[in-house]
Amino acid sequence: MRYRTKAQEIFIMAEHTEDGFDWDTTHASEPQQLLGSKKVAILLCTYNGERFLREQLDSFVSQTYRNWSIHVSDDGSTDSTLEILEEYKSQLGEGKLFISHGPRQGFAKNFLSLIKNREIIADYFAFSDQDDVWLDDKLSRSIAKIPRVPLNKPHLYCSRTRLVNSDLALLGFSPSFKMRPCFENSLVQSLAGANTMLINNATRDLMCRVADDAPVVAHDWLVYQLVTGCGGDVVFDQIPTLLYRQHEANLIGANATFRNQVIRILKMLTGRFSEWSTLNLIVLDSVRMELTENNRLILERFEAARKSGLLSRLRLMLKSGVYRQTIKGNISLIAAAILNKI
């Protein structure tokens, strides 16, 4: 496997970073023994991904957790993506890789088409991009961390990532968020990338209730809002579980560099964030009665704030309790509220 040596070197280097992570590679066998009967459906969306797809697929094959299947929705690739997928399908054998055709309406709708496909039956669902590299214990770590009871309660696992360039050279980490994941935070911030996420069937059921034509900004942000809004649990793991490529073809990059953070803040202050909020609220309105009573109240206050004059807007924003994960983020949130750009 071509990526293997370099990926392992990056993994070992993590033991000596300034972040001080304790990379314990011995935990993977225990979850596999205890939870090996739980099926994981890996949901992979592809579009002209020939350049890096083999490395992503190889990292699935290398997982220490073995009870998985790959479900691919291709959104109209014109390169050799489909040929590569057929090659791996043949190599992996019966029941391991399935290929379907996406709706060709963008990456969010493509992921939603996969999660809403009831022919895919599993205990957990893991989202994947086409150009990353999973660390070997990604699935075993995710399953070990996510709560297993009650089964009818929505659960979401997500994590930080190790940022790498096209050649897998280390660039840094995605942001470390320490404040509590909750609905108040989800209204104004997406916590983690979909490529790190693992969800249970209760969360999947919530996503299936979202209309096919819903104006979804980003499926990872939607998952965070639905799980927290409906009283579910979110685990944000400080230890990265994958190598997240940053390259010119990324649809959405990591918000880690100073430049990217400035761009995000400018989007908030120039009205782009307000547009996203409007679309998010349309989707949340369709599942309003699924929200907990307290979260419905938070949502109502946030909606009212966006329609109010300055003093009432600030008062309702404060009363709603919405916040972002960093001091800089909260300063930009206050500025956006003053400028009525929320």
Query: Domain ranges in the chain?
Result: 4-245, 258-338
Find, among 230, 159, 216, 163, the residue nearest to 192 by Cα. Answer: 159
Residue 23 and residue 160: Cα distance in Å, rounded?
A: 13
pLDDT in tens, 118-127: 999 999 999 9
Give me the chain's average pLDDT, please. 88
Identify whether the C-beta of residue 139 lies closer than 8 Å to the C-beta of residue 63. Answer: yes
Q: Which helix (H) or strand (E) holds 306?
A: helix 293-306
pLDDT at 170: 96
Per-residue model confidence (pLDDT) at position 18: 38
Please report, rounded to a whole number, the percentage of residues in the chain having pLDDT higher than 70.
83
Q: Assess whether pLDDT exceeds 50 at residue 114.
A: yes
- Res. 12 pLDDT band, cuts 50 70 90: very low
Rounded-to-integer distance, Cα 218 and Cα 223, Å:
9
pLDDT digits (tens, 9 = 90+) for 176-197: 999 999 999 999 999 999 999 9
The three-state secondary structure class of 45 is strand
pLDDT confidence of 108, banded at 50, 70, 90? confident
What is the mean predicted confidence (pLDDT) over 80-92? 98
Contact (Cβ atoms closer than 8 angstroms) between residue 275 and residue 290: no
Percent of the chain residues topping a pLDDT of 90: 78
* CATH number belonging to the domain at 4-245, selected among 3.90.550.10, 2.40.170.20, 3.40.50.261, 3.40.1000.10: 3.90.550.10
The whole-number pLDDT of residue 254 equals 53
Q: Is the pLDDT of residue 312 over 60?
A: yes
User: Does the predicted TM-score (pTM) go above 0.85?
Assistant: yes
